[in-house]
Amino acid sequence: MIVLKFGGTSVGNAEGIRRVGSIIRSCLDSDPFVVVSAVGGVTDRLFELRDLSLGGQLWEESFEALCAIHRDILSELGLDEGLVDGLLAELNTLLAELSSAGECTAKSLDHLVSFGERMSAPIVAAHLQAEGLTSQAVDAFDAGMVTDSRHQRARPLDDVNTRIRQACEQFEGVVVATGYIARDEEGNITTLGRGGSDYSASIFGSALGAEEIQIWTDVDGVMTADPRIVPAASPLKTLSFEEAAELAFYGARVIHPATMIPAVDGNIPIRVLNTHHPDFPGTIILGSPGEDDRGVKSITSKSHVSVVNVVAPRMLDQYGFLARVAEVFKLQEVIVDMIATSEISIAFTTQRGENLDSAIAELEEFSEVEVYHDMEQVSVVGEEIRERIGFAEEVFSVLRDLEINVELISFGATRINLSFLVGAGHAGEVVRVLHERLFER
């Protein structure tokens, strides 16, 4: 069997869902298990509804627009326009409760944003049924997707594979499961983090012993750079799990960073494909690509990076300083990207989030802390980097020619990722020129 995950742009309108139906039909011999995201843009609308309901603003008009999106898709597909009315009524009640209470807990937010996937899955399954296929929509938590209780960033329990296999024995035909969402053992809805439908697909694929996990999106695969920054970017034929994980973590938006973990555990290939060009081979992500597939693979970037420099001269030559700093990160759940250390300081990068200020306050209890926001990070990824003599000089000569300073450098232990920081507004130019030097000559 194979797992097919379709993102929000793939199920964003009636035409897209028809394409999805054709792709699923073409895969019937492979026993497809389908995972879907919310209709494109709906998750953002749900977060907006949260803000409107809490801000004392009128949210009803935005809610009616959300209803219209789903009813219009159903109408264009020739399906019952009232198919998701029960879910919309439940959502309406929840929004009224949030508005009245004037607050939205993490638990309530997970419940709120779950409606996107819970409405898209029935629509896709109903379309398949109308096309003559046996299909049923299944909420992921009814298919064994049980997680811890860390709302907005839940992770599956250790026995999730067993739970999924047992739950899925009862289903018939093409299962259309919700991505992104799950439940904890108390029955509360949880979510896997933004973009978590990829992760859901990988978890299902590992649990069900899939031959391949297919991530269907709106690009021809993983690219040599973001085509919005580099129009000449081209799709990659293959990536290793390690390369794909580095790219996902350091800014590539095609796949969710956690997607690799279950796939690696099960040694299951992941293929990134384009619903608009289903015949294009896309990018396949493998445990061990061939020697011919080595090389510099891609350049990625991300903005709004914060640099935190922890300075503690009095800790010079004392044990436990690094452990103490790491404990703060752990307790405050701050994810660190790059680290640079000296005898008396530690500099690290992270994405600015609600927990960062709390972490800084705790660090200031035993050290001096300097914080720089809105930096930009550029990463060059590829297996070949580790053996390529003079590669760093190739990269940094670009910055020299552009007269751009490097603020922080990381060349990881795996040596397949060279990352560095530049000032705000410079990453796009660096990526474009690097791509020209490394891929277009």
CATH code of the domain covering residue 404? 3.30.2130.10
Are residues 337 and 349 in contact, defined by beta-carbon separation less than 8 angstroms? yes
80 and 208 housed in the same domain: yes
Give the residue from 217, 243, 258 where a domain finishes: 217
Judged against a pLDDT cut of 70, whether residue 161 lies above it is answered with yes
End residue of a domain, out of 182, 200, 217: 217
**Percent of the chain surpassing pLDDT 90:** 70
pLDDT reported for residue 383: 83
Clarify whether residues 176 and 31 are in a common domain: yes
Share of the chain above pLDDT 70, in %: 96
Alpha-carbon Rg for the chain, nearest whole angstrom, is 23
Looking at per-residue pLDDT, the higher value among 196 and 129 belongs to: 129
- Is residue 153 in some structural domain? yes
Q: What is the pTM of this model?
A: 0.89
Most confident of 52-61, 140-149, 340-349, 366-375: 140-149
Do both 75 and 171 map to the same domain?
yes
pLDDT, tens digit, 9 for 90 and up, residues 392-426? 888 999 999 999 999 888 886 667 889 999 999 99
In a domain, 247, yes or no: no
pLDDT for the residue 260: 82
| Residue 146 near residue 184, CB atoms below 8 Å | yes
Greater pLDDT, 354 or 356: 356
Domain match, 10 and 151 both = yes
Final residue before a domain boundary, out of 217, 249, 276? 217
Q: How confident is the model at residue 259 (pLDDT cuts 50, 70, 90)?
A: confident
Q: Based on the domain organization, do 90 and 211 belong to the same domain?
A: yes
Query: Token digits for 376?
Result: 């930009």
Q: Is residue 63 part of a domain?
A: yes
Structural domain containing residue 201: 2-217
Q: pLDDT tens, 280-317? A: 999 999 887 666 666 789 999 999 999 999 887 665 56
Task: Determine the pLDDT at residue 171.
Answer: 96
Mean pLDDT, the chain, as a whole number?
91
Q: Is residue 149 part of a domain?
A: yes
* pLDDT given at position 83: 98
pLDDT of residue 33: 98
Tens digits of residue pLDDT in 200-231 = 999 999 999 999 999 999 989 999 999 999 99
Assess whether 35 and 174 both reside in one domain: yes
Return the higher-pLDDT residue of 320 and 361: 361
* Overall average pLDDT of the 265-270 stretch: 91
302 and 213 in a single domain? The answer is no
Nearest Cα to 419, choosing from 436, 433, 431?
431
> Would you say residue 72 lies in a domain?
yes
Q: 124 pLDDT exceeds 70?
A: yes
pLDDT at 354 over 80: no
Q: Is 325 within a domain? A: yes
Q: For residue 62, give the CATH number of its domain.
A: 3.40.1160.10
The per-residue pLDDT for 88 is: 98
Write the DSSP symbol of residue 334: P
Query: If pLDDT is split at 50, 70 and 90, which confidence band does 173 have?
Result: very high
| Whether residue 317 is found in the same domain as residue 205 | no
Mean pLDDT of 322-348: 85
User: Is 286 inside a domain boundary?
Assistant: no
- Assess if residue 326 is contained within a domain: yes
How far CA 237 is from CA of 123, 224, 232, in Å, comes to 33, 10, 16
What tens digit of pLDDT does each residue of 11-65 get?
Answer: 999 999 999 999 999 999 999 999 999 999 999 999 999 999 998 778 999 999 9
Please provide residue 2's backbone torsions phi and psi, each rounded to the nearest 5 degrees.
-130, 155
42 SS3 class: helix
* Angstrom distance (rounded) from CA 102 to CA 310: 38
Q: Residue 30: left (phi > 0), alpha (psi -120 to 50), or beta?
A: alpha
Q: Cβ distance 178 to 140 under 8 Å? A: yes
Count how many domains the chain has. 2
- Provide the 8-state DSSP code for 384: G
Same domain, 415 and 305: yes
User: What's the pLDDT at 53?
Assistant: 92
Strand order in the sheet with 298-311: 339-341, 345-351, 298-311, 368-381, 417-422, 408-411
Rounded to an integer, what distance in angstroms lies between the CA atom of residue 73 and that of residue 380? 41
Residues 6+ apart with CB under 8 A from 431: 225, 226, 229, 230, 299, 300, 301, 378
